[in-house]
Amino acid sequence: MKPAESRTPLTFRDYASALKPVWCPGCGDFSVLSAITKALAELALRPEEIALVSGIGCASRIPAYVNAYGFHGVHGRALPLATGLKVARPELTVLVAGGDGDGFSIGGNHFLHACRRNVDLTYIVMDNQVYGMTKGQASPTTEPDWERGKLTPGGPQINPFQPLAIALASGANFIARASSSDPNGAARLLVEAIRHPGFSFVQVLSPCVTYRPEQREWKKLVRPAPVEATDEPARAARRLMTDDSFNIGVLYRGHRKPYQPAMGSAGDNLTLIEEEFST
Ligand SMILES: Cc1ncc(C[n+]2csc(CCOP(=O)(O)OP(=O)(O)O)c2C)c(N)n1
Ligand code: SF4
């Protein structure tokens, strides 16, 4: 394979698949898709060098819209799948994408352990604080007082999951927040996240205009974080104490060595793999 610099450069359009997204008009996920394709173009990765893995949900449709290897898997199981792929094929750039329900509810346990394991993956969560695909149930990041008729009378009444704090406490090596209202800024953050070794977590505030139309206001609330990123977990934790969830930028860049176990003796030789499993 030619080194990246000697190949014909691709533009972000080359990373869009032939499929037209079926998201609702105005959904934040359109901008996240655009940010991902811009980041891939900036990194000059070939489509065959990239794999995008997801679970189930509106956000999880994203692999279908990107011209790269893609796997649209089972609800909440994108991270273990991507972990296996990266360990077996370390030369691939593996991105994982999905929603807050997929990643923090049914997939919450995998999120903790993916941060802890620190395999070189980039996990992009399009957070709209709701289950969009299944018509608007409260998710782990929904505010306690968000009422929605008979579905959530009185609101969930429980404290929301704090994705950045949990990523930090669990050992993620790069933690950032982006906004779908600024796709170019999100693309820059994604470039950094993908380049950073180990497990990178990027929460993207991405409104669900259908079930949470009030989230259209997010674009007025987001602003660059008032402080630079840190490599000290304690300092990052203190910053999160005063975070109102609208600070955009890199919070934490760690120095943990990525986990990349040696492959089993069988490697990719099918006969040897069969022999290993037959004993
Ligand atoms: C095992 C299983 N449980 C439940 C569902 C139903 N389901 C599909 S998507 C989804 C939630 C999606 O919400 P989120 O991940 O926040 O993504 P969004 O649609 O908001 O982008 C649920 C509960 C499922 N497909 N599989
Ligand atoms: S239901 Fe919400 S999250 Fe799903 S496509 Fe529509 S706006 Fe986007």
The answer to whether residue 164 scores a pLDDT higher than 90 is yes
**Residue 191 Cα to chain centre, angstroms:** 13
Mention every residue, 6+ apart, whose C-beta is less than 8 A from residue 227: 239
Q: What is the rounded CA–CA span in Å between residue 21 and residue 37?
A: 14
Nearest C-alpha neighbor of 248 from the set 133, 70, 127, 154? 127
Q: Which residue's C-alpha comes closest to atom 1 of ligand 2?
A: 132
pLDDT at 6: 65
155-168: average pLDDT: 97
Confidence of residue 234 (pLDDT cuts 50, 70, 90): very high
End-to-end CA distance of the chain: 37
Burial grade of 19 (CB within 10 A; 0-12, 13-18, 19 or more): exposed
Phi, psi of 3 (to 5 degrees): -65, 150
Confidence of residue 8 (pLDDT cuts 50, 70, 90): confident
3-state secondary structure of 162: coil
What tokens were used for 161?
């999951």
Mean pLDDT of the region 135-142: 97
pLDDT at position 274, please? 83
- Res 267: pLDDT: 60
Best mutation site among 130, 133, 208 for ligand 2, i.e. most ligand atoms within 8 A of its Cβ?
Answer: 208
pLDDT band at 273 (very low <50, low <70, confident <90, very high): confident
Q: Where are the alpha helices (DSSP H) in 77-162?
A: 78-88, 100, 108-117
Q: What is the pLDDT of residue 5?
A: 57
- Pocket flag, ligand 1, residue 134 (CB < 6 Å): yes
Contacts of residue 270, Cβ cutoff 8 Å, sequence gap at least 6: none
Q: Is 131 in the pocket of ligand 1 (CB under 6 A)?
A: yes
Residue 167 has pLDDT above 80, yes or no: yes
Tokens of 265: 């003796």
If you write DSSP's letter for every residue of 42-73 in order, what string do you get? HHT--GGGEEEEE-SSSGGGGGGGBSSEEEE-
Query: Is 60 exceeded by the pLDDT of residue 265?
Result: no
Distance CA 186, CA 172 (A): 19
Distance 207 CA to ligand 2 centre (A): 8
Task: Give the residue with greater pLDDT, 263 vs 45.
Answer: 45
Residue partners of 162: CB distance under 8 A and separation at least 6: 240
Q: Any idea which ligand is nearest the CA of 161?
A: 1
Tell me the per-residue pLDDT of 176-196, one tens digit each, with 9 for 90 and over.
Answer: 999 999 999 999 999 999 999
DSSP letter assigned to residue 156 = -
Is the predicted pLDDT of residue 4 greater than 60, yes or no? no
Quote the pTM value: 0.94
Listed in sequence order, the residues at least 6 apart from 176 whose beta carbon sits closer than 8 Å to its beta carbon are 189, 192, 193, 200, 201, 202, 203, 229, 249, 250, 251
Residue 137 Cβ < 6 Å to ligand 2: no
How confident is the model at residue 151, as a pLDDT? Answer: 86
Q: Which residues pair with 52 in a beta bridge?
A: 70, 95
Which residue has the least CA distance to atom 24 on ligand 1? 75
Q: Are 131 and 57 in contact (CB under 8 A)?
A: yes
- Best mutation site among 56, 106, 109, 209 for ligand 1, i.e. most ligand atoms within 8 A of its Cβ? 56
Banded pLDDT at 149 (limits 50, 70, 90):
confident
CA of 224 to the centre of ligand 2 (A): 26
Q: Which residue has the tokens 């898997």?
A: 73
Work out which ligand 1 atom sits closest to the CA atom of 102. Answer: 15
Across the chain, mean pLDDT equals: 94
